[in-house]
Structure 1
């Protein structure tokens, strides 16, 4: 997964009660210097992943909004220009916050059948969590508790909150992001298919034959260039 080139400051916390004296604390830090550096790098990489995922999901939501209002398989040049201008002036505008885009998205979903029931409720909860994690890693502070190597993230969200960044936490983050991205992709696909912008196998027998012919031609060319088993 793409990692943003962004350093996350990670502080080291020493609890005097964990050590018998300053020498003991110094020896502990020196002995485990590589482990501390490794934990700091993991925190930085994971935080960058969350920031990138938040930006990517925000773009996906914008694509759904734009697609819902403008997607068409036979739009005129003038309609296309209006759609591009809509994206530039509204969807990509700094005035269009993450919360505003989410509100528009769920207003659309409430009036359509692209995503409903438990799936819609789960998406709403997942997007909210991803946004909170994104804000937390962007504005919070990372701390490594030196004796037990526990990594914590302290941030503000209706008061001070603390997350323990365990392996289980990061697995949950990754799964939540993947589920949200998958659902958003499904919604956009439904919109584009409804408007005739995409076609799948089984939609049109004549179109299926053309797709199959193109696929066979492509595979033949690849076999000739790279040999059998290239894929």
Structure 2
């Protein structure tokens, strides 16, 4: 199978100090920064990482659906027509959004007691972060700022910005791993 190529754009912003703090060189020029192959490569990596976040969120949502289904119908190797209707017509319906699945998982945790205290709160926080990141990459704008590096600008209750540095990517990997571990722990007790 081939890897497809679709049109995409990058936004580059150059910080221009308006307070007169930047001094001109001997030629009277003010250096505002440059965009070269390294910066373009950083934007490409950020876009690719964003695609991984979106796809991993889809996979995590499927895990949540499986856990919800196992809670209501029990674990089985043989699908039943009722189970299939529940999965196809309820869980995968556009009306049954991620936020509702997140809420239902919270109810399942309370009902089963599988996660105690802070673990349940942590899982809910992780799911919230993951959905925020997914939405930010799906609907936001990647930018390269000559001072700030790669940024993701998006709207969530107001204009937001994430600096896409190594600390951010470390947090993303950590949150997805811990969240998956918690969901697996819940499902293993059903």
- Tell me by how many angstroms 1:24 deviates: 5.1
Partner of 1:97: 97
More helix by share: 1
Given that 2:69 and 2:83 are in contact with CA atoms closer than 8 Å, whether structure 1 keeps it comes out as: yes
- Listed as ranges, the matches of 1:141-180 within 5 Å are 141-146=141-146, 148=147, 150-180=149-179
Given that 1:6 and 1:48 are in contact with CA atoms closer than 8 Å, whether structure 2 keeps it comes out as: no
Partner of 1:109: 109
TM-score by length of 1: 0.70
- Tell me by how many angstroms 1:5 deviates: 7.7
TM-score by length of 2: 0.84
- Tell me by how many angstroms 1:108 deviates: 1.4
Partner of 2:88: 88
- Tell me by how many angstroms 1:6 deviates: 7.4
| Max Rg structure | 1
Alignment size in residue pairs: 181
Match of 2:40 among 37, 42, 48: 37
1:176-197 alpha-carbon deviations (Å, 9 max, x no partner):
0110011101111111xxxxxx
1:189-229 alpha-carbon deviations (Å, 9 max, x no partner):
111xxxxxxxxxxxxxxxxxxxxxxxxxxxxxxxxxxxxxx
- Structure 1: 5+ residue stretches without partners: 192-231
- Listed as ranges, the matches of 1:40-55 within 5 Å are 40-55=43-58
Q: In angstroms, what is the RMSD of aligned CA positions?
A: 2.6
Structure 1 consecutive aligned stretches of length 4 or more whose deviation exceeds 3 Å? 4-9, 16-25, 72-75
